[in-house]
Amino acid sequence: MSGDARVIVGVSGSLHSLTALHRAAEEARARQALLVPVLAWTPVGGERSYRARPCPPLLRAWQDAAEARLESALGQAFGGLPIGLSVRPLVMRGEAGPVLTELADRPGDLLVVSAGQHASVRGRLRRLVRGSVARHCLDHARCGVLVVPPSGLHEDLRALHRGEVDLRELIAA
């Protein structure tokens, strides 16, 4: 590993974040850096709601669920931890953008995030209210930021779901 070089990547478990995770692993290999996959989480209902009615056992359950999501994402992406890389998975409480930019605090770090796309109404509303994680990272990071575009596979699946493409067309391509 090259000194203290780190490649930090935001992971949610979505197809977009798995694409970013693969790209981050490539970058970590090329840089001989530590790969730090990060899943940020907040209590259901948000921090304000939790502070109004704290429940430590519930908080522990949410933390455990977040850890399981990150482990599952690593399993989906690599079948476990990627071979030939130093990896330190982290689960951190907080909004993804601020968590990632706080963690990626060294000039030599590389922060990798997905451009993401929220096609659902709920996703668009969330982005409108909170802003995008990628935009937050670009605006606030103290290191290089790599924003990974959505994979072509995701667009093909969305087109298939909407009935715009026949499955036979995708198989033939």
- The enclosing domain of 100 has a CATH number of 3.40.50.620
Is residue 1, in this structure, part of any structural domain at all?
Answer: no
DSSP conformational letter for 46: -
Domain count, the chain: 1
Domain that holds residue 134: 6-172
Residue 1 has pLDDT above 60, yes or no: no
DSSP one-letter string for 85-141 = S-B--EEEES-HHHHHHHH--STT-EEEEE-----SHHHHHHHHHH--HHHHHHHH-
All residues at 6 or more sequence positions from 63 whose CB lies less than 8 Å from its CB, including other chains: 41, 91, 93
pTM of the model: 0.81
| Residue pLDDT, tens place only, 9-42 | 999 999 899 999 999 999 999 999 999 999 999 9
All residues at 6 or more sequence positions from 19 whose CB lies less than 8 Å from its CB, including other chains: 114, 148, 150, 151, 154
Most confident range (mean pLDDT) of 45-49, 77-81, 137-141 is 137-141
Least confident range of 43-52, 89-98, 156-165: 156-165
Is residue 133, in this structure, part of any structural domain at all?
Answer: yes
The mean of the pLDDT values for the chain is 87
Is residue 148, in this structure, part of any structural domain at all?
Answer: yes
| Residue pLDDT, tens place only, 121-146 | 444 545 444 579 999 999 999 999 99
All residues at 6 or more sequence positions from 88 whose CB lies less than 8 Å from its CB, including other chains: 34, 35, 36
Is residue 76, in this structure, part of any structural domain at all?
Answer: yes
